[in-house]
Amino acid sequence: MTTPAVPRPKAERLFWVKYNPTEWQGMYSELSDEEYGLFHRVIAKLWATPGNRLNLAALLADLRVKPDSERARVVQGLVGYVLKEAEDGLLYVQAIDDAFADAVKRGSAGTAGAAARWNKPKPAPATALSNANPHDF
């Protein structure tokens, strides 16, 4: 089962990803230290890529990993475990898709809240009579 690509608005860039180290270490506890380190580089690269998807060759090139190196074999070993492969052959990380969807949801909620505050009807200006102290008459 593959997950459809999460559309990313072209005009908007997200500079952070929700990251709970304890949670992520638990999700990926079976990785060696080398795999975990390369996996975090993969996450950073996918996060910065529109659609959060890359093919293996582009991913290796973007990570500046030679295709026939030991590091490339480590990245290739992540495919099928932490790197999922979509039907179109592009690689993705489900946690990145989930974090991106959460960030978009929070951003949309913030935008809607700001719009509601700015579009709230303004009260009618107070008149001198409505501000007068009733004891003054």
| CB distance 53 to 5 below 8 Å | yes
Percent of the chain with pLDDT over 70: 77
DSSP 3-state assignment of 100? helix
Residue 92 forms beta bridges with which residues? Answer: 84
Q: What is the pTM of this model?
A: 0.63
Q: What is the mean pLDDT of residues 69-98?
A: 92
User: Residue 64 region, left (φ>0) first, then alpha (ψ -120 to 50), else beta?
Assistant: left
In a domain? residue 49: yes
pLDDT average, residue stretch 112-117: 72
Predicted confidence band of residue 77 (pLDDT cuts 50, 70, 90): very high
Vertex 113, ends 111 and 115: CA angle to 5°? Answer: 70
Inside any domain, residue 110: no
Which pair of tokens denotes residue 42? 């993969």
pLDDT of 9? 45
pLDDT digits (tens, 9 = 90+) for 24-52: 778 888 999 999 999 989 988 988 888 88
Residue 115, domain member (yes or no)? no
Overall number of domains in the chain:
1
- Domain with 40 in it: 17-103
Residue at 121 is within a domain: no
In sign, the C-alpha dihedral spanning 81, 18, 97, 52 is negative
pLDDT digits (tens, 9 = 90+) for 117-134: 788 777 766 665 556 566
**Three-state SS at 91:** strand
Residue 109, in any domain of the structure: no
CATH code, 65: 1.10.10
* Residue 10 pLDDT level (bands cut at 50, 70, 90): very low
Positive or negative torsion for Cα 109, 110, 113, 119: negative
Neighbours of 44 (CB within 10 A): 14
